[in-house]
Chain A
Amino acid sequence: MEKFTQLRGTAAPMDMINIDTDMIIPKQYLKTIKRTGLGKHAFAEMRYNEDGSEKPDFVLNKPQYRNAQVIVAEDNFGCGSSREHAPWALLDFGIKCVISTSFADIFYNNCFKNGILPIQVTHEQLRELMDDAGKGSNAVLEIDLENQTIGRPNGESVSFEIDPHRKHCLINGLDDIGQTLQQASKIDSFEEQRKAATPWA
């Protein structure tokens, strides 16, 4: 997994609540057996007309946001299905950070497995960042994970909270499985205990 330390990127405003994973990557693109190549299908139904042409009004189709690396969105981002294709699609598009007032649990978790930083902020902070994101080519935010800050275009800075373990893994790009396998002896002894206590399990 790629490390996440700092990011300076254009933020695209998506001023909607409940952006669900069906919107982020519609099910017709879940038939892939690969993790890559989903970026062109991200937000497909909002982004393209039926004939495949782009909808010019959709934020990520606008010239100033085509290379956005940050999405600023309203409440409950990533609700719905557990599909990891959602963060895969965002990452493949180039999105490395999503800022919202709240995230659905499974999506939030999936982001960290893919080097995407989901940042939770207060409603007041979100409205300010949404305004910043609305500034087109000036909509550049500076994310600093080490110091847990979002630098705004006006020079001000917003602090955010994050679980220390998740932060550690993201900054160092750590592979979960490798870490867990270091605990193999603990898993072995747990299995033995459990076999004795609940043999049917």
Chain B
Amino acid sequence: MATPRTLFDKIWQSHLVDVQEDGSCLIYIDRHLVHEVTSPQAFEGLKLAGRKVRRPDLTLAVADHNVPTSDRSKGIADEESRIQVETLEKNVKDFGVPYFPVLDVRQGIVHIIGPEQGFTLPGMTIVCGDSHTATHGAFGSLAFGIGTSEVEHVLATQTLPQAPAKNMRITVEGKVPEGVTSKDVILAIIGKIGTAGGTGHVVEFAGEAIREMSMESRMTVCNMTIEGGARAGMIAPDETTFAYLKGRPMAPKGGEWELAVEYWKTLPSDEGARYDKEVVLKAEDIIPQVTWGTSPQDVVPVTGHTPDPAAESDPGKKASIERSLAYMGLAPNTPMTEVKIDKVFIGSCTNGRIEDIRAAAAIAKGRKVADSVYAMVVPGSGLVKEQAEQEGLDVILKEAGFDWREPGCSMCLAMNADKLEPGERCASTSNRNFQGRQGPGGRTHLVSPSMAAAAAVTGHLSDVRALAN
């Protein structure tokens, strides 16, 4: 009998173009997403070497990091941002790469538009010069972030030299309690394994709580796999996956669809497949999460408080806690719900999908953003924005005092005009609370969309379960 294989093993083995004597592998890449920040030097390299893009038809480009989230018809005011977007526009033209222009309704965050268009499909290898490429693993694909040299390599050859990863499985058993979202699940996982817990591994998420999630929720979980140190996170494709993909513009049609689904059903890990590392969480133990520090692993339940460095015996960890608390302007043992906030950011490739905007609107409905708070909602794509407007979510949010913006990466990493001022504190649905991530000196608390909306209306970090009806 054949050795039982994991989902990762199956995709890896079916993409091997070459294996050298020393064990180094060359794998084929099915889909390559390109954005303006990590691609200019790659295209420049191709030009200098006189190389072409091998498979423009497997490549899709979009500008997302630098684009303003205000009216874009007037162009980009910031000169460097404008040059970067113009450089992408020139490169896609020169190399014949499909591109969604900034004013196209399909424009959006690269990790939102791939799935939305059906460009992302199960069983595929998918790369992008962006660490949150892990998002696409929600479809049962092997998707991971790469550097710019690798972007150039994929553009030129449609392959990548790669070392095989180890298998890790994270199982979330049982059902999540009311008020707990996929964001809370992944934050709880990172809190448990730490930001280097998955290094060298590809993580497969499993268990009832994962199976019961929508595709949007699964994408949130896989998106932040990188914050747990693993380059890729994945979830076995199932009926939820197929239902999401069916009819998407770039998904297979007709007879090819039937063939594809038949193949996709062979992808889930075999019974008895071996994992190098296993982690198990009970969903019922998870309560809404919030970060207190400057690493995604600095996370506590909203009912908790900031840590006390005096209670830490390891000198390295103690110094790290002290440094984080000082940067965040928080005293030890502060209850999280006493932390007042200045801004709220709802959006990003982690939480900028329709379900996230619905969750925020459900809390915002009939309430008002606190006077001391500026709250913004940035849909992940033009199509997410359009759908939210069809559902009237924009009206609910605007009536509550939220700023309803145009799509892009926005204040997740503040490369455009949306940023925190030094010392400002933000409840954010994004993925990183690193120092200065949302603006130099800015302070970030990572939360779910409903928790962010709860913070907006109360003016401080709050337990959303007290507000939900």
Q: Closest approach, in angstroms, between the C-beta of A162 and any C-beta of chain B?
A: 12
Contact, CB under 8 Å: A82 / B149: no
Residue among B23, B38, B51, B83 making CB contact with A83, cutoff 8 Å: B38
Give the nearest-CB partner of B81 in chain A. A31
From 23 to 78 in chain A, residues with beta carbon under 8 angstroms from any chain B beta carbon are 23, 26-28, 30-35, 45, 50, 74-76
B70 at the A/B interface (Cβ < 8 Å)? Answer: no
Contact, CB under 8 Å: A84 / B153: no
Contact, CB under 8 Å: B146 / A106: yes
Contact, CB under 8 Å: B195 / A18: yes
Interface range, A side: 35 or more
B103 at the A/B interface (Cβ < 8 Å)? Answer: no
Identify 15 residue pairs between A and B in the complex whose beta-carbon atoms are under 8 Å apart, listed by A's number: A15-B316, A20-B295, A28-B415, A30-B65, A45-B436, A79-B195, A81-B131, A82-B147, A104-B196, A105-B230, A177-B49, A180-B26, A180-B161, A183-B17, A191-B28
- Which residues of B are at the interface with A, using a C-beta cutoff of 8 A? 17-18, 20, 22-24, 26, 28, 30, 37-38, 40-41, 44, 49, 51, 54, 65-66, 78, 80-81, 83-84, 87, 121, 123-124, 129-131, 133, 144-150, 152-153, 156-159, 161, 163, 195-196, 199-200, 226, 229-231, 252, 256-257, 259-260, 263, 295, 316-317, 319-320, 323, 413-415, 422, 432, 434-437, 440
A23 to B324, CA, bound (A): 14
Residue among A28, A104, A198 making CB contact with B260, cutoff 8 Å: A198
- Which residues of A are at the interface with B, using a C-beta cutoff of 8 A? 15-18, 20, 22-23, 26-28, 30-35, 45, 50, 74-76, 79-84, 87, 102-106, 109-110, 113-114, 163-165, 168, 176-177, 179-181, 183-184, 186-187, 190-191, 194, 198-201
Contact, CB under 8 Å: A181 / B156: yes
Residue among A84, A177, A187 making CB contact with B147, cutoff 8 Å: A84
Known: A16-B323, A18-B195, A180-B156. 4 other contacts (CB 8 A): A27-B414, A33-B84, A183-B26, A186-B26
Give the nearest-CB partner of B125 in chain A. A201
Instruction: Please list the 7 inter-chain residue pairs (A to B) with the smallest Cβ-Cβ separation, ordered nearest first.
Output: A200-B252, A113-B149, A84-B147, A31-B80, A33-B40, A110-B147, A82-B145
Residues of A within 8 A of B199 (CB): 76, 102-105
Residues of A within 8 A of B23 (CB): 165
Contact, CB under 8 Å: B196 / A75: yes
A75 to B220, CA, bound (A): 26
Residues of B within 8 A of A168 (CB): 22
A16 to B435, CA, bound (A): 14
A30 to B148, CA, bound (A): 12
Q: Closest approach, in angstroms, between the C-beta of A178 and any C-beta of chain B?
A: 9
Residues of A within 8 A of B65 (CB): 30
Give the nearest-CB partner of A30 in chain B. B37
Residue among A17, A33, A177 making CB contact with B152, cutoff 8 Å: A177
